[in-house]
Amino acid sequence: MEKSKIIVIVGPTASGKTDLSLRLARQLNGEIITADSRTLYRGMNIGTAKPEGHQASSAGTQFRNWKISDLFVQQPFMVKDIPHWGIDIINPDEPFSVADFKAYADERIADIISREQLPIIVGGTGLYVNAVIDNWSLTEVKENAELRKELEKLSDERLILRLELADRDAVETVDTANRRRLIRAIEIVETTGKTLAENQNKGECKYEVLMLGMKIDRELLYERIDYRVDKMIAEGLVDEVRGLKNTYGCEINAMTGIGYRQICAFLDGYLKLRDAIELLKRDTRHYAKRQLTWFKRDARIHWISEYEEVNKLLKKFFA
């Protein structure tokens, strides 16, 4: 049986994934599935660099090949008239796992294909991307309250060392500046007795995939990151975080991500604003480096810097 074709665009934050995905979607009658562990949260807009757009109304079916039954299901987030899925789908205090994303993405891919459109997965969250294209069989590891109590007593440095001893490779991909994610990684490894990679059981890929990676000079990438952070501050990131803090607090998982924990530290009086901004820039650069480390391991990715390279790959893919 012939597999359905999908396109995947990956790369570090601020590398130009959004612009390329919109161009491809227009060219190929595509709909975009966002593989980003942060833009799925409602109300977290500036700090996640969420693209400007709006939630489609069920009363308006301006996007392609929709049926009457589609009026009663979740509507996409529209960005420049291109349907996006995976944006604004849960509140910041709701849990959402890799397994949840895989189930969501598989369902959206099937729906998009049924309407004779092209699914385009776009994002920098490597776990989300690989869970879908490698058809991972994911076993949910329950929280271990006793182990967590023990780990909470340790410093960040001790936690990093403990993870490194149990799973050296994990230290290269886990956000070690995010204490919650660090503890969760240790919890998974020590509870299962397997590395993070071993906990990700690959199945047979359900799709024919063209993977594109954004190739960008590191110095230029860091300049873009610094510019993006300055723009976030100018657009009101502090007020956004303050509003979220008043509603949810800073302890929920969504608020420990980059862009939110640094501003929370400022609002709580631990940092001056200028120091929080510099820390945000530094942590974002480190995150981009981890993203590149993750994706560079995948030989299937075609690293592109010019659109002509993309066109050549598309011609071969759809031949």
Binding-site residue ranges for substrate: 13-18
Lookup result for tokens 């991307």: 129
Helix (H, G, I), strand (E, B) or coil at 120: strand
How far is residue 127's CA from residue 160's CA, in Å, rounded to a whole number? 20
Q: Is 276 exposed, middle or buried (0-12, 13-18, 19+ CB in 10 A)?
A: buried
CA 117 to chain centre: 23
Lookup result for tokens 């300049």: 223
Lookup result for tokens 């994610």: 181
Q: Is 206 exposed, middle or buried (0-12, 13-18, 19+ CB in 10 A)?
A: middle
Contacts of 270 (CB under 8 A, 6+ apart): none
Residues annotated in a binding site for ATP: 11-18
How far is residue 128's CA from residue 107's CA, in Å, rounded to a whole number? 14
Residues annotated in a binding site: 11-18
